[in-house]
Amino acid sequence: MSETRVLRQVERRIPQALLLGYVLVFFVFLLAPIFFVVLVSFSDAAFITFPVTDFSLRWYYRLLEYTPLLASLWFSLKLAAASAILAAILGVPAALALARSTSRVADVVSTFLLAPLSIPMILLGVALLYYLSAMGLGLSFISLLIAHTVVSIPYVVRTVVAVYRSVGRDYEESAAILGASNRQIFTYITLPLIGSGIFSGMLFAILISLDNLSLSLFFGSAQTNTLPVVMLSYLQNQFDPAIAAIGSVQMAIAFVVLLMIERTVGLEYMSSPS
Amino acid sequence: MTSDRAQLVNASLAARVAMPAPASARPGAQFAAGLLPVLPAVAFLLLFFVAPLVQNGAHSIWLPSPQGGRLSAAYYAKLFFDSYYLTVIGQTLLLSVIVTAICAVLGYPVAYFMVRHAGRWTGLIIFLLVAPLLTSIIMRTFGWSVILARNGVLNSTLLGLGFIERPLRLLQGPSSVIIGLVHVLVPFMVISIAAVLKGVDRRLEEAAQLLGAGRLRTFREVTLPLSLDGVATGSIVVFMLANGSFLTMLLLGGGSVVTLPLLIYQQFLLVQNLGFAAAMGNVLLALAVLSLFLQLRLIRRQGVHR
């Protein structure tokens, strides 16, 4: 009797153990490329080879010598910050209005503001390049700023709407009942409550902008090269660990930003499908 | 800060004495005022998102000539009747379908584990799923070349263990493109499936087991059908993103896989054929709009369920 019970117990555990094993393999698959890029970035060899036997920081020093990579990282950071700020200026008021509205118009507007996420980036890049060139903007920081802001708005709107909805109306209504003016309610109640949402939305936008190749590609010039564009052209000419080093630097930046998001509102706002 | 708070208290006291009448009485005006803040964002997107796409559409049906040009469907005719371009469209769709199917099969168990068994590890799993999304896509793709290259991780390991005698050619083919795309897109699938699985009523599963269904049968006839919406949502997202990517093909395909976005990139870089690139872009756009439409319908349906 007890033997069959033990057997049944084991039988119950086997699928669970298999599932756990599979999930571990899955995450090895997911993290392996990143792990090996970081590993290679510390290699001392002149080209990519395995196993890595000697470790050094020579490829990080190489970043300091080969200025286009670091210059483009700096340019990308400025662009990302500027587009996140512009997206917040445009997107936050819209998000606040949409979060509290239940009308059909508001539904349509929300869908419209999120639409840039759903169209192929490369199409938007081609279309914007010719459109902005016709306007006389061409290959400029302004063009890039406009292109990146179009894609940043959905992230800001989505995050702020989600956070504002989760807060509920109670605090604002209490303040209104206590006689606070609209401006006072906004400054002392609403803004502190959704501040973390705005902050995270902007951080998402920054991360997306930093990694955006498909848009930036079309606006590349000596003065307007973003990091992904320079990385791509470097990769097409050389296959050495310098690209691993700059990739690791970018990942470190993204990691810090990610931790900041996790600390403020949590990552699930990033991943919600709608 | 304190003086402002004091002001707020004062104001509240004043409000008790004289409650002001509501500012706007007409509901229409209130409604319009309520949505006024969306205008700047909407205007910005109309100007820099919709207008460029409309102009792009116009380019795709306009055949320029020294005399000024004329309307023409020539670019679309070329796309849909030339066997080379038909092959490219077919390859784009086929690749996306294969990648989507693999993502669904690989992703489902992970989503299931995350919702049902992860417990306090859920946060870590979400972090591990999202973290790769935020490392540079170039870096992840480069990572696969490091692993799959002639003298890369996999070949050196296999050589070292004596399984093979000379390096395998793993890069620059359709399989490395598929691996790269699945790696980039599978987190979206897991997240979509998990979102729906979370909402599946566990009492239904318990009921099935009480009625004598085994664990496998419960899964096959209760859990899986109830979570198919998540698989569908995830599939649309992955399909759409796969349709639009070109970096993976460019860096891992070595010319063996030519898809529409890659062709747009090449047209732009080498030929600068604006009209043709515009037409190809519109085919991609049509696919994206179709996917978006399906997605919205699915979301509506899920909304009804809840």
pTM for the complete prediction? 0.81
Contact A112, A91 (CB under 8 A): no
Subunit contact A184:B265, Cβ cutoff 8 A: no
β-pair partners for B63: B70
The answer for residues whose C-beta is within 8 angstroms of residue B23's C-beta and 6 or more apart is: none
A181 touches chain B (CB under 8 A): yes
Could you read off the pLDDT of A107-132 as tens digits, one per residue? Answer: 888 889 988 888 888 889 889 988 99
Alpha carbon of residue B187 to chain centroid: 10
Tokens of A191: 């803004």
The Cα of B293 is separated from the nearest Cα of chain A by a number of Å equal to 11
Subunit contact A178:B8, Cβ cutoff 8 A: yes
Measured CA to CA, the distance from residue A8 to residue A270 in angstroms comes to 41
Q: Across residues B228-249, what is the average pLDDT?
A: 86
The minimal CB distance from A50 to the residues B40, B153, B261 is found for B153
- List CB contacts (< 8 A) between A217 and chain B: 265
B270 touches chain A (CB under 8 A): no
The Cα of A22 is separated from the nearest Cα of chain B by a number of Å equal to 8
pLDDT by 10s per residue, chain A, length 274: 567 777 777 777 787 888 889 999 999 999 999 888 888 888 877 777 677 777 888 888 888 888 888 888 899 999 999 999 999 999 999 998 888 887 888 888 888 998 888 888 888 988 998 899 888 887 889 999 999 999 999 989 988 888 888 777 888 888 888 988 888 888 888 888 888 888 888 888 888 888 888 888 888 777 788 888 888 888 888 777 888 888 888 888 888 887 777 777 665 555 443 3
User: Domains in chain B, please, with CATH?
Assistant: 72-305 (1.10.3720.10)
Subunit contact B244:A121, Cβ cutoff 8 A: yes
* B94 pLDDT tier (thresholds 50, 70, 90): very high
Interface test with B, best of A13, A20, A131 (most B CBs within 10 A): A131
Interface test with B, best of A14, A20, A30, A145 (most B CBs within 10 A): A30
Measured CA to CA, the distance from residue B68 to residue A130 in angstroms comes to 18
Taking CA atoms, what residue in A is nearest to B268?
A126
Over the Cα atoms of chain A, what is R_g?
Answer: 24
The minimal CB distance from B35 to the residues A97, A153, A214 is found for A97
- Cα A81 to Cα A201, A272, B25, B26, distances in angstroms: 12, 23, 42, 41
Subunit contact A109:B265, Cβ cutoff 8 A: no
- List CB contacts (< 8 A) between A111 and chain B: 296
- What pLDDT shows up at residue A2? 65
- List CB contacts (< 8 A) between B5 and chain A: 188
Subunit contact B296:A111, Cβ cutoff 8 A: yes
Question: By percentage, how much of chain B surpasses pLDDT 70?
Answer: 86
Subunit contact A239:B51, Cβ cutoff 8 A: no
Q: What is the largest CA-CA distance in chain B?
A: 92
B300 touches chain A (CB under 8 A): no
Taking CA atoms, what residue in A is nearest to B145?
A33
- Helix, strand, coil fractions of chain B, as percent rounded to 5: 80, 0, 20
Closest CA to A257 of B136, B223, B276, B77: B136
Could you read off the pLDDT of B281-291 as tens digits, one per residue? Answer: 888 888 888 88
Measured CA to CA, the distance from residue A268 to residue B123 in angstroms comes to 9
- Cα B43 to Cα A96, A156, A202, B36, B40, distances in angstroms: 17, 16, 20, 11, 5
> DSSP string of B240-273?
HHHHH--HHIIIIITTS---HHHHHHHIIIII--
Closest CA to B105 of B253, B200, B238: B238
- List CB contacts (< 8 A) between B274 and chain A: 130
B40 touches chain A (CB under 8 A): yes
Interface test with A, best of B36, B135, B209 (most A CBs within 10 A): B135
Taking CA atoms, what residue in B is nearest to A36?
B143
- The SS3 of residue A55 is strand
User: Domains in chain A, please, with CATH?
Assistant: 64-271 (1.10.3720.10)
- What pLDDT shows up at residue B303? 53
Measured CA to CA, the distance from residue A75 to residue A73 in angstroms comes to 5
β-pair partners for A55: A43
- List CB contacts (< 8 A) between B149 and chain A: 48, 239
> Residue B47: pLDDT above 90?
yes
Taking CA atoms, what residue in B is nearest to A204?
B134
What single-letter DSSP state applies at residue B19? P
Contact A271, B126 (CB under 8 A): yes
* B140 pLDDT tier (thresholds 50, 70, 90): confident
The secondary element (H helix, E strand) that includes residue B166 is: none
Is the Cα dihedral B159, B163, B169, B175 positive or negative? negative
A145 touches chain B (CB under 8 A): no
- What pLDDT shows up at residue A70? 85
Measured CA to CA, the distance from residue A88 to residue A205 in angstroms comes to 9
> Residue B79: pLDDT above 90?
no
- What pLDDT shows up at residue B98? 95
Which of A45-49, A84-88, B94-98, B273-277 is least confident? A45-49
Measured CA to CA, the distance from residue B140 to residue B133 in angstroms comes to 9
Measured CA to CA, the distance from residue B171 to residue A41 in angstroms comes to 21
β-pair partners for B70: B63
Subunit contact A228:B261, Cβ cutoff 8 A: no
Predicted-assembly ipTM surpassing the 0.95 threshold: no
- What pLDDT shows up at residue B18? 38
> Residue B10: pLDDT above 80?
no
Q: What is the largest CA-CA distance in chain A?
A: 85
- Cα A210 to Cα A72, A152, A253, B112, B264, distances in angstroms: 10, 11, 10, 32, 23
> Residue B143: pLDDT above 70?
yes
N residues, chain B: 306
Size of interface A-B (CB pairs under 8 A): 287
- What pLDDT shows up at residue B68? 72
- What pLDDT shows up at residue B131? 77
> DSSP string of A158-185?
HHHHHHHHHH-SHHHHHHHHTT--HHHI
Indicate the average pLDDT of chain B: 79
Closest CA to B144 of A226, A36, A133: A36
The minimal CB distance from A120 to the residues B131, B135, B288 is found for B288
